[in-house]
Amino acid sequence: MNKILLVDDERNVHYSLQRALGEAFRIISAFSGEEALQRLSGEKPHLILLDVKLPGSDGLETLQRIKAIDRDVPVILLTAYGTTETAITAMKHGAYDYLLKPVDIASLRGIMTKALHLRALTGQVDTLLLLESTQATPLLGRSVAMQDLYKMIGRVAPTDTTVLLSGESGTGKELVARAIHQHSLRADGPWVALNCAANPEPLLESELFGHEKGAFTGAIERKPGSFEEASGGTLFLDEAGELPLTVQAKLLRALQEKEIRRLGGRESMPIDVRIIAATNRDLEGAVVRAEFREDLYYRLNVIHLHLPPLRARQEDIPLLAQHFLTRYSRELERPVGGFAPEALEALSAHTWPGNVRELENTMKQALMTCRGYLITAEDLRFGERSIARVQPAPPRDPLDEGLEQILLMHAGQAYHRVEDRLIRKALELTKHNQVRAAHLLGITRNILRHRMKQFGML
C-alpha cells in the first residue's frame, strides 16, 4: 500500500480524507510543517498532500524544505485560498499539482494515481527551478482555467523558450507576459514591451532594430531598438499578428541568426533576449491567407498559452469586480463597499465582449454614478446603457456550448484538441486524400502534413 503523508492543521480534513482514501492508501497524519519533516525522515512516504496555511512554517516553506530532503517525492498542495502568486510559486518550487478546497475526491484520486505512477516509472517528478519573486503578479481568478494557466506560467517561466500568448482583446495577455518575465531567470534584466500595431511600418522597423544617424529623414542621431534595450531580459511583442510582411522577414532572420543590424548600419550585433509574443488574431488562418509567414509563426509558437475569455470563467467575475471596486474606491476616494445582489446577477449575466478590461472600466463608471454604499444594477453601464434588471440570456448555439466545455476542460490544449478532431474527421470524409482534406479544412497540404506529424498521424 502506498504511504500518503497528509499535512493539515484541521482534524476534520484528516478525518474526511482518511474515510475517502483510507481503503486505497495508508494515510500518515501531520498537523504542522515541522511534524511533516519529522514524518518524512522516518516514514518515507510515496506522496504528500500538503496544506498551504499551516501554523509555524507555511506550506510553501515546508514544500521547499521537503524538496531539499527528497526532491523526488510528489507533493500536491491543497488550499482554500487560491492566489496567482501561490499557484505560480508552488509550481516553481516543485509541487506536482495545486488544488483548491473543497477538494473533489475523484479528481484528487486521479491526480494521486498519476503522480505515483510517474514516480514509479521515472523515480522523479517534474520539478522546476527554485526562484524568488519580489513582485506580485496582478492576475486574479479561482476558476479551473486560470489555475491551470498559473501552473503553466510556473512551468514555462524558468525556461528561455519563446512563448506565444493568444486570446481575445482585454484578457490580460500583457499581465501573463509580465508574470512569465518576473518568474524567469531573466527577472533582473530589462522588460521591454513593443506594440506592433501602434507604429507605421518604417517606424516599427526602427523601433525593433534601431537606426544609425542619417539612416532616414529625421534620424539625427543613433538610436538603439527594442532588441538592444531588452538585452539580457525579455522583449514582449504585443499584437504580433499585425506585423507587416517585410518586417516579419527581418524579425525571422533576427530570431534565426540571433543577431540584428540597425537601419543604415553595416555591422551585425548579437542579441540575447527572450521573446514573448501576443495576438488576438487567428495566426494559423493568417498563414493560410498568406498574411503571416508560416516560418515565423512556428518560430513564435514554441509554447502556446491561450487565455480564456471572461465569459468562459464566470465564477471569477465577482472576485475581479470586487478587486477593481476596492482598488478604485480608494483611488477615486469613493467609499463604496460592495454589490447589491441584483448587481452581481447583472455582472454575471453580461457576456463581456471586452473581457477583463471592460469589467475594469465598468467598475470605474459604477463608482462615479453610485450614490450609496453598495453598487446597484442601476449603477452599471455596459456600453452606453444602464442595466436596471437582468435581461434573459438569448438562446445559445450548441456549438458554442461544446466549444466552451472543451476550453474549460482542456485549458491550454483546447485549440489542439479541436484541431486534432477536425483533421481526423476531414481525412475520414475524404478517405485520407490529403489534397481534398486540406481543401476541406481551408489550409495548404503542407500545413496539413505538418499538423498530421504533430498529432502522430504520419
pLDDT of 280-314, one tens digit each? 999 999 999 999 999 999 999 999 999 999 999 99
**Section 389-394 average pLDDT:** 44
Residue among 125, 117, 127, 115 nearest 90 (CA): 127
**Domain boundaries in the chain?**
3-122, 161-306, 310-386
Please answer whether residues 190 and 229 qualify as being in contact, where contact means their C-beta atoms are separated by less than 8 angstroms. Answer: yes
Q: Express each pLDDT in 442-452 by its tens digit.
A: 888 888 888 88
**Section 39-55 average pLDDT:** 91
Q: Is the pLDDT of residue 421 over 70?
A: yes
Q: Classify domain 310-386 by CATH number.
A: 1.10.8.60
**Section 264-271 average pLDDT:** 90
Q: Which CATH superfamily is domain 3-122 in?
A: Response regulator (3.40.50.2300)
Q: Express each pLDDT in 121-168 by its tens digit.
A: 543 323 222 222 333 335 788 888 888 898 899 889 999 999 999 999
pLDDT computed for residue 404 by the predictor: 59
If one compares 378 and 31, the residue with the highest pLDDT of the two is 31
Model confidence at 77, pLDDT cuts 50, 70, 90, reads: very high
pLDDT computed for residue 277 by the predictor: 97
Q: Is the pLDDT of residue 90 over 90?
A: no
pLDDT computed for residue 226 by the predictor: 95
Q: Of the CATH numbers 3.40.50.20, 3.40.640.10, 3.40.50.12500, 3.40.50.300, which one belongs to the domain with range 161-306?
A: 3.40.50.300
Mean residue pLDDT across the chain: 84
Q: Cell numbers 540597425 correspond to what residue? A: 262
Instruction: State how beta strands 234-238 and 274-279 pair.
Output: parallel
| CA dihedral angle for residue 119, residue 123, residue 129, residue 133, rounded to 10 degrees | 30
The pTM for the full model equals 0.61
**Section 28-52 average pLDDT:** 92
Question: Are 161-306 and 310-386 equal in CATH topology?
Answer: no
Specify which residues 79 forms β-bridges with.
Answer: 100
Specify which residues 19 forms β-bridges with.
Answer: none
**Section 376-404 average pLDDT:** 60
